[in-house]
Amino acid sequence: MKHYSFILFYLFCNVFIYAFHGSLWVYIVCFLAFSAVVVWGSFAIELGYFVNSITHKRTKIKEVALTFDDGPTEFTPKFLDLLKKHETKATFFCIGKQIEKYPETFQRIIAEGHTIGNHTLSHSNSTGFLSTSKMMAEIENCDKIMKDVGNIQTHLYRPPFGVTNPSIAKAIRRTHKTSIGWNVRSLDTIIDDEKKIYRRVTKGLKKGSIILLHDTSEKTYRVLADLLVFLADKKYSTFTVDSIRNSRQND
């Protein structure tokens, strides 16, 4: 795990305590500071604090990955139409209950050659508080639905909200998943202004970036339309996330 910054912080706390002779207020300050760092590590998936997640591809060429969370939805067919028009493949991290709601759309995603990832059964708001066994059930039940509806299995998993903790880390290991993060977060579920979303994505692009989007709104659909034109103009190609995992296994 990428704990170097946290180890340094821990050592700093010990030196700080020693320097001030371990008075109570020093212990309190260090405890609060360390707690804040742990919370930060839980929500910042790119830090790899609890789980090593793939957040980008090491590459020398101009290529990026388009990833979509929380589908399939009523909007997903329009996203698929647009991707097909631009001859672009993407990675869809699907929720089990949404697959049950839109089985034909899920089957279409697979049929058109896109990559599928597990995004839990329910994408519960209490994900960060679930036990290891309940987290495993969320992942395994989503896997079962994917198998029943699309006859497909996936080793790719994206934690809801990008939240990780010890229980989630154990669940990922025990279900033999590879955690997938991102290094370009669109915030398209929070920001209403399409231009701001577009600027946020295009400004943060680098070679090998993994872009987080959601196939859940007309707003993001319009952003995607502009983004695909931008990628073509800037000579960016696209890759799917499974290609990173496969290349690492072959190294």
Among 165, 183, 152, 180, residue whose Cα is nearest residue 93:
180
- String of DSSP letters for 204-219: T--TTBEEEEESS-HH
- 197: CB partners within 8 A, 6+ apart: 186, 187, 188, 191, 219, 220, 223
Torsion from C-alpha of 137, 185, 187, 145, nearest 10 degrees:
-30
CA angle, corner 102, sides to 158 and 246, nearest 5?
A: 35
At 246, which helix (H) or strand (E)? Answer: helix 242-250
At 242, which helix (H) or strand (E)? Answer: helix 242-250
The SS3 assignment for 237 reads strand
Catalytic residues: 69, 214
Residue burial 58-93, b: 16+ Cβ < 10 Å; e: rest: ebeeebbbbbbbbbbbebbbbbbebbeeeebbbbbb
